[in-house]
Amino acid sequence: MEKLRSRLERGIMLFDGAMGTMLEASGVLADVACPEELNIVAPEKVKAVHAAYIEAGAEAILTNTFGGSRVKLAKSGLGGRVRELNLAGAKLAREVAGEEVLVAGSMGPLGEFLAPLGNLSRQEAIEIFAEQAQALAEGGVDAIIVETMYDLDEIEAAAHAVRESTDRPLICTMAFDANLHTIMGVTPSKAALRLADAGAFALGANCGGCGLEGMAEILRQMREARPDAIFIVKPNAGSPQVVEGRVVYEATPQDLAEYVKRYVDWGAKMVGGCCGTTPAHIQAMAEALGKR
């Protein structure tokens, strides 16, 4: 906690950009069951993405473990390798980051509804998230980020798991659509209140279909609801478009550079990128923030 807090005292913290779309663009995902398997079978590919973001100016990087829960890995036949894949992902990031760059262990949604909409009980969800969080902490992450969440019950279960099973500070982000709600109907204001109460060190938004402009409005609403919170925003590189069978994101590095200054003006203390962002986007953001 103190490492993260002391770093924030020095100013805005710049996170990295997308991992999944970077790996997809390189073609390596065709050879594995899921991105997390690369932590074992092709660690140099994952390390290269981490290194490129740090070279671009990232001061914090996320592990390649977004889908590393038992539930998600089971869909790829890897449900019994949670500790192995998450531990490897954390160690890879830690090796590249050294001690100056912070490492946040990435945990994404389970992909299944909690009861009563689904079959997972809250306690089962907590145990699943705790298993992943413990492996990330063992691998040496400085914080754990629970990201791209839509359901408050699920993200609160994840937050409880992180708090009770590790000593790492917790960052929570939810994904909002063009109507500035999550697909489960959660508003930015409600998210800010509930995530702060759940013990998040920092909270905010990432990914989603809200666009760069929508992300600014989400941040404004969150800050209005909980002005004492530490906020993080990690937008996609604009809206995705399908061009000749490929998904292409429309926002240029300069677009992100322009918007990152607005996010900071609205109170964001942590900024970065999500789907479609590249080291070029992060470098442009670093330059806009006076970090290069």
Q: Is a pLDDT exceeding 80 seen at residue 1? A: no
User: Cα separation of 114 and 287, whole Å?
Assistant: 42
Residues 120, 79 contacting (CB under 8 angstroms): no
Residues 147, 191 contacting (CB under 8 angstroms): no
Residues 45, 26 contacting (CB under 8 angstroms): yes
Closest CA to 184 of 157, 154, 151, 210: 151
CATH of the domain at 69: 3.20.20.330
Question: CB neighbours of 65 closer than 8 A, spacing ≥ 6?
Answer: 36, 39, 85, 86, 89, 90, 105, 106, 107, 132, 136
Give CA separation, 264 vs 16, 89, 136, 268, in Å: 16, 30, 29, 5
User: Cα separation of 226 and 230, whole Å?
Assistant: 9
Residues 183, 177 contacting (CB under 8 angstroms): yes
Mean pLDDT of 281-288: 98
pLDDT digits (tens, 9 = 90+) for 29-65: 998 999 999 999 999 999 999 999 999 999 999 999 9
Residue 249 has a pLDDT of 86
User: Cα separation of 247 and 276, whole Å?
Assistant: 9
Domain that holds residue 38: 2-288
pLDDT digits (tens, 9 = 90+) for 87-131: 999 999 999 999 899 999 999 999 999 999 999 999 999 999 999
Residue 21 CB neighbour total at 10 angstroms = 21
Instruction: Tally helices (H) and strands (E) across the chain.
Output: 12, 10
Name the CA radius of gyration of the chain, rounded. Answer: 17
The number of residues making up the chain comes to: 292
Query: What's phi and psi for 7, nearest 5 deg?
Result: -65, -40
The domain tally of the chain equals 1
User: Cα separation of 76 and 125, whole Å?
Assistant: 19
> Which two three-digit tokens encode residue 10?
């020095």
- pTM summary value: 0.96
Beta strands 246-249 and 240-243, pairing class: antiparallel
pLDDT digits (tens, 9 = 90+) for 166-176: 999 999 999 99
Residue 133 has a pLDDT of 98
